Amino acid sequence: MATVKLENITKCFGDLIALDDITLDVQDQEFFVLLGQTGAGKTTTLRCIAGLDTPEEGTIYLDGVSVSDKTPAERDVAFVFQSHILYPHLSVYENMAFPLHPRRLSAEEIDRRVRDIAQMLHIEHLLMRTPNQLSGGETQRVGLGRAMVRRPQVFLMDEPISNLDAKLRTEMRAEIRWRQRELGTTTFYVTHDQIEAMSMADRIAVLEAGRIQQLGTPSDIYNHPANLFVAGFIGNPSMNCIPCDISSANGQLQLTLANTTGNNNTVTIEDNQIVKTLNESTSDGETVFGTHAEDVIISHQPIPNAFQAEVYSVEPLGAETIVELTLGPDAAGARTILKAVTAPNFEAEIGQQLYVSFVSERMHFFDKNTGDAIL
């Protein structure tokens, strides 16, 4: 197998900087996910690794050897495109077997590989069909299978299951991850879907506007977002990020949310480590409070260290219920919403007043001017 290293990669399209000094180091047999919104530069990164695009600056290494001057055919990588193009005159079986013929494998080995991957992708019943007899999702699975039969040094996957329905997408996440572990193939996977990233990756790099915002394990990125962009992008629902005031009263730090008119959205910051970090912070800008929706505590009855807020909407989702609370209008008249995840049997009605508090040790704070995490 192989390692993949991108060293100071910059790629431009005219005046547009698609990748801005990207450095990444993917380990042997790692399932590495590049996560970002549309236009962030994800596909461009894959195309540079594959040799389909040439960066203006930087070097790309496969297994410690520079491949910047090598052709795509010389790099021994398999690229799984978001939109798959199959040979229209060949059957599904022949399309999947096609990349194996130059490797001079026996007919028995080719047949074994094709049928093994076809079974994993649930397309064994499609093997004798031609591409014009396939749905979009079936075409995507065939394209994925054609890459997987090769067993290359590196898989490059560009949102390979985005066209599948929700149930099959869930199944395919598990199947691709299981197969990658079985084969031990280094995989560089691109997606805009943070659920895919969180559930599949060994490590995630969050990309925004051609720059890496954070690199770490799914747990690290979820629990310790490096900045407001990552905090607002990771999680479903994403982290609540609300402007706040921090003040001292009676020797305690007080957190007041949203600076809304007519509402007293104030709680005491009780975690000693958070208090210590905030007191030592050198940030002189405005502060943004962050909390995951599951760390928002809501109750019909009074609870310690809480304030009251009005229910704005209720979304029963079966396994959980998302309750949106309005903290009142800010100085500009904009409504500030706080989301909470509750048990599925939690009952709330629009317009009802609930008591709101937070898990004290899981509060996050960001500098509003820089966007960087204070803690």
DSSP 8-class letter at 8: E
Mean pLDDT across 47-63: 95
Give the CATH H-level superfamily of domain 240-367. Nucleic acid-binding proteins (2.40.50.140)
pLDDT at 262 over 90: no
For 148: left if phi > 0, alpha if psi spans -120 to 50, otherwise beta; the answer is alpha
CA pair distance 221, 208, nearest whole angstrom: 15
Percent of the chain with pLDDT over 90: 64
pLDDT at 78 over 60: yes
Fold classification of 4-229 (topology level): Rossmann fold (3.40.50)
Question: What are the residue ranges of CATH 3.40.50.300 in the chain?
Answer: 4-229
Whole-angstrom CA distances from 84 to 1, 47, 135, 162, 195 are 25, 15, 12, 12, 23
User: What sign has the CA pseudo-torsion 73, 79, 81, 85?
Assistant: positive
DSSP 8-class letter at 372: B
pLDDT at 280 over 90: no
Q: Which residues contact 116 (CB under 8 A, 6 or more apart)?
A: none
For residue 313, the model assigns a pLDDT of 96
Q: What is the pLDDT of residues 143-202, one digit of tens each?
A: 888 888 887 889 999 988 887 778 878 888 888 888 788 888 899 999 999 999 999 999
Angle of helix 107-120 versus helix 136-148 axis, rounded to 10: 140
Please state whether beta strands 296-299 and 353-358 pair in parallel, antiparallel, or not at all (unpaired): antiparallel
**Cβ atoms 33, 155 nearer than 8 A:** no
Q: Which two tokens stand for residue 283?
A: 């940030």
- Of 4-13, 120-129, 153-162, give the range with the top mean pLDDT: 4-13
Q: Which two tokens stand for residue 262?
A: 């007519």
Backbone angles phi, psi at 260, to 5 degrees: -85, 160
Q: Residue 289: name the closest of 374, 230, 169 by CA.
A: 374
Please give the model's pTM, rounded to 2 decimal places.
0.88
**Cβ atoms 220, 206 nearer than 8 A:** no
pLDDT at 2 over 90: no
For residue 240, the model assigns a pLDDT of 96
Please state whether beta strands 203-208 and 31-36 pair in parallel, antiparallel, or not at all (unpaired): parallel
Q: Residue 295: name the closest of 363, 235, 249, 350 by CA.
A: 363
Q: What is the pLDDT of residues 225-250, one digit of tens each?
A: 999 999 999 988 999 999 998 988 88
Question: What are the residue ranges of CATH 2.40.50.140 in the chain?
Answer: 240-367
> Over the chain, what is the mean pLDDT?
90
Q: Which residues contact 341 (CB under 8 A, 6 or more apart)?
A: 237, 293, 294, 296, 320, 321, 322
Q: Which residues contact 334 (CB under 8 A, 6 or more apart)?
A: none
Mean pLDDT across 10-36: 95
CA pair distance 231, 241, nearest whole angstrom: 8
Mean pLDDT across 61-79: 90
